[in-house]
Copies of this chain bind each other. A is one copy, B any other.
Amino acid sequence: MGDVDLEFPAQGARCECDEAVGHGYIVDKDRYLARLKRIEGQARGIYRMVDEEKYCIDILTQVSALTSALRSVALGLLDDHLRHCVADAARAGGAEADQKFQEATDAIARLMRA
Binding site for B on A (CB under 8 A): 1, 5, 7-9, 11, 13-16, 22-26, 29, 32-33, 36-68, 70-71, 73-75, 77-83, 85-87, 90-91, 97, 101, 103-105, 107-114
Per assembly, the copies of the chain total 4
Closest to A55 in B: B15
Q: How far is the CA of A7 from the CA of B101 in the complex (A)?
A: 32
Interface of A, secondary structure class, is: helix
Contact at B110–A61, with CB atoms within 8 Å?
Answer: yes
Contact at A50–B78, with CB atoms within 8 Å?
Answer: no
Q: How far is the CB of A28 from chain B (nearest CB, A)?
A: 10
Contact at A77–B104, with CB atoms within 8 Å?
Answer: no
Q: A11-B54, A64-B110 are in contact. Are A101 and B74 (CB under 8 A)?
A: no
Q: How far is the CA of A98 from the CA of B87 in the complex (A)?
A: 11
